[in-house]
Structure formats: C-alpha cells, structure tokens
Structure 1
Amino acid sequence: MNVPAWLWFATIGALAAVILADLFLVDHKPHAVTIKEATYWVLFYVALAGLFGLGLWFFAGGQYAGEFFAGYITEYSLSVDNLFVFVIIMSSFAVPAIHQHRVLLVGIVIALLMRGLFIAAGAAVINALSWVFYLFAAFLIYTAVNMVRQGVGGDDEEWKEPKVVGLIRRVLPVTGEYHGSRTTVRIDGKRWVTPMLIVMIAIGLTDLLFALDSIPAIFGLTQEAYLVFSANAFALMGLRQLYFLLGGLLKKLIYLSYGLAVVLGFIGVKLVLHALHENELPFLNNGEPLPVPEVGIGVSLSVIVGVLAITAITSLVAVRRNPALAD
C-alpha cells in the first residue's frame, strides 16, 4: 500500500482537528457526561471509522479496507478491557465527575502519541526482520494463556501506579487537591502540579502498557503502518465515550477476558503461519518459504466478530441468570 506523505499529514491533521474540537467542547462547559451524550459520541466515532473504512474500500480496495476493519475491531475490543483499569484509576485519584472526560481525552492523546512511536518502530523492525513475527506470535499466545488463567474478573484491582508517575511526584511538587481542570497552579509564588496532570499521565502510560499486546496483535492482521495507526487512532478516540456509556455494563462482561484470549491466540497462530510463509531463517527449510496456508482477512474478520459477539451474549445471559456473577 503506497501512502503518500500528504495523506499521512491530512489524516493526522483531521484527527487532530476532531480532538481539538472535542477538547473545546469539554473546556467550554465542563460537566458530567450523561448516557445519552456518550451514546451520541460513540455512534459518531464509530460512524467516522466506518466512513474511513469505506473510503479505503473505494480508493484502495476491499483487502485494505478489510484489514482496517479487522484491526479497528480488535483494537477497540482490547481497549474495552482497559476500561476496567481506567475505572480503578479514576477512583484511586478521586477525579471529579465533571473533569473525567477531559482526563480521559488528554490521557488518550498522550497514549496515541506514544503508540505512534511504537507503531513506527514495529513497522521498521518487521520490514527488516521477518522472523520478528515469531516473537509477536509467542507473546500473543503467552498473553492469551495468561488471560485464561486469570479467569473471570482478571486482576485489574491490582493496578499499580506507573514508576514514571511516582518519579514525577518526587521531582515536582503536587498539590493535595484539584484546582478545577488546571494541571498546574501558582501558590505563594511557587508553581505546583495538580493531581489532574498526574492522573492524565497515569491514564496515558497505563494504556501504553496495554498496547504491548494490542500493537503486535494488529500487526498480525495488517503490516501497513498507515492502517495500524489509523485503526489505533479511531479505537482510542471512541474509547473515552465508551467509558461513560458502558458504566455498570463492564461488570456484566464476565467472559470478556476469555473472548479476548481466543482472539489473541487466533492472531498468534495467524502470525506463525505468516512467518512460515515468509520464512527467511536459514535453519528452517534452508531459508525458503514453507507452503503453509495463510488465513485471509475475511476469515480473520469473521472469527474476531463472531468470538466477541458470542462472548458478549454469553456473559449477559450468564449474569441475567445469576446476578451474583457480576460481583
């Protein structure tokens, strides 16, 4: 896929414009986000991603559009699992309801910038070393096994503050209370950092840790850096609104970790097959590609959507029959 520089700049510029418009609306009138408002925003961002995918279909073909949609759905689904931790972070920092939207927005922008560096590095490594797919596959399968072992509920309650955040606390003076939506404040002639900045950084860094499995996963679906970045951007942009929309529903998705484990395991196997098909390792078949079947993007998309749908339906039915499971 040949992506000209102007298209990269246009895409990043359009995403930045949407984020700035969203930030302006938040700053214009800070308020607690309602379910109705969150629903509209989620539909808006999903529609935006859909239009982007249709544009790819029209200008680049169904193959790349399919890769984008598969990557977007995978990233969005893995991001839902992040929301459990975001809830804990918000509670730990006692973020006022009227400022939670701003915290998520800025935190996710930080995460997107850092993910961009990850994606650029990943694309460069993949282009130079095809055997890195084996490492990605091993990591995804390892992660999938761990998610199954953790079982229902996982270990999200064991979230620990990133070391970088602890370092910032030691280096910079932090106020003991919030000062509206301000990230810094001057007190008695001295500049202080507020908890608002700390929690934003915590959200961004925590999301980056989750990217350690989501980035290899999407590279298993497409090796196009442009598609990887755009899928991550659309997934993260809609994530904060999903945080307010799902609310208590998160606790009802009791089998989500199992569904995500199946998806990661499936992509891991897909990566192994792709690596064998592109084999360059001298000790394996004399460095020649192996005639193994590859999983098409249509099959990948069907498996991902099917597994996640079954997981969600099974979770909701189980909780409806036994509400205690949600606890």
Structure 2
Amino acid sequence: MQLITSASAGNGPPNRGHRVQIGSRLPVELQLIIVKLAARGSRKRCLRLMKVSSNFFHWVMPVFYQTYRISRYVHLFLISIESETHLDRFKRVRHLFINTFFDSKYDRALLNACHAIESLAIHGSSLRNFNLHPARSSGYWSIERFNCKPSYVILFEIDCDRFQHYGLSAPAFMTHCTHLALEHRPADVMSVSYLLRLVPTVTHLAFFYPYTRILPPLHVKEFCEENEQLAILVFCRFIEKRSIPPVDPMWRTTRFARHELEVLDPRVAVIDIRRRSRAATLSWKALTTGSLDIWRLGRERLELTKEFRDVEDAMSEYISFER
C-alpha cells in the first residue's frame, strides 16, 4: 500500500488531480506511523488533506475520530438530511467529550452511533437546570437505552444532589460504568451515595477539585463507610503550573505525609495534578484517553500512604514498648 495525495483543488474526486506518491519506498508500517502522527499533530491540516486524498482519508479516519469533542451543535440539520453519513464517523470514537447543553434529538442519535466508546465526559451544567429543561426522557440524561456503553464516565461541574432531589434514575450511558470521576460542586459528598446506589457497577471513584477551593470535602468518613463496594477513592487537586516546573512536565504525584482525608479510610488517595490550568475540563483529553491516568496515580499514592501508615504503627509500638 502506498500513501497517495492529490494536488487537485475543490470538492472533486481526488483521482482527477496530480497524483503524488509519498514515501513509496517506505514500509507500510512506517507509512502508517507517519499518518497517525500527522493526524494527532495538526487536525486542521489533516482535514484539508482528507478532502483531496481518498487514500489519506481512509488511513486517517480510524485515528482522527478516536478522540472527539463536541463544543456546540452546528450541524443539527444533517440529522434530517444525511444522518447516516454524518453519524457514521462516530462509530470510530473511543473517547468523547460533550461540552454543550444537551439536544434531545441529536444526543440520542449521536450516542447510539458510538458503538466502540470507552470513555465519555459530559459537562453537567444542564442537570443543574433540570427544573427548567427536564431531561428524564430526552438528551444524554435519558434513561432510554443507548448503544453507547462506556466503562469510564467523567461528569464535569456536576451537582449530584440533583439526582436525589428530582428522584432521577441513572442515565443510560452509566449502566456499564465501573470508573466514575466527578467534579462535584457541593462540599458535602454524601449526595453522591445516592448516585452510586443507582449505578452499583462503580468500583473506582474520583473527585476533581481546584487546589484553591476553600471548603474541604465534608462527611468523607461517613461516605466511605456507606460505600464499601469502592476499591479506591481518589481526590484530585488540580494545581495551575507556575514558573517552577514539576518533576514530570505533565503531572506529579504528591509525596507529602498522609492527608487528613487519607487517615479516614485506607482506600482514600489524595493527589496533586499540575496542569496549565486548574480547570479540570481543560484536561478532558488527557483524562479520557488515559494519558493522565488518575487511577494509576491513585494506586501509587495508596502504596505510599501504606508505607507511611506502617512507619506510624512501628513508631507507636516502639513508644508503647519504651513506656
């Protein structure tokens, strides 16, 4: 197989233009690596090439749409005009971020098209306005079944107490969720217990907070006692990178002594994450793809706190013996 580009302009078929063979002597595997790097490096440039080169289009499509963000709905008319063509690309999506207010018709068609999705991130602002825009039977908060079955779900800027306040059922996209991350706005975490009862499959839970948050999480001990099914509970504090870079250019696991929350339960891990911004939503891509693996960082932190705990226990025994 050879990577072919076309020098033709406009919307005409690529094979009518001047055909240029790129890297014809390179092994197919190496050509594929080059295409993948191009797709991840400059999306706008790739879109232009995809319009004029059928070969490049077919090579890049599986890579180009693995990670996708919807920030606004500007193609709603395509649902009625060419819905199958427009939504076909989403069958390749593995990591999706819906960062806009829900649209009942488009959301259902979109989520039904995401057959291969692994992680789904949603901005929770629409749930805060549930009394104005009921979402029980429409949009992505619908309880109607979708083909979209992610195991990892992230809800940014969410008020989980709304589920209990309005007597909501679990959204359909959470039925297969095992790893759940929440940017829970209220300080009291007990309202999350209601959501976990709706989604008993969740075994890994994370909370996102800006490092500058004034009010600490409340009732963490009671929350842990009520949710014995959780294998790990990670509190992620997002810190804005300043002039002093961290040891790791992307993130850093803190090595401070046990945090007051970690003393409450051995499953609790508190980690600091240094990013360009302390807004967790701006790290959506790293979070959904796993390049920022909060679960691995949490496990590393648990191992470290276990060492601290063992040292503290040894010191206590030594002091008791001396007495």
Q: TM-score range by the shorter chain?
A: under 0.3
Structure with a larger share of its residues in helix: 1
With normalisation by structure 1, the TM-score equals: 0.22
- Structure number with the bigger relative contact order (C-alpha 8 A, sep ≥ 6) is 1
Taking structure 2 as the reference length, the TM-score comes to 0.22
More strand by share: 2
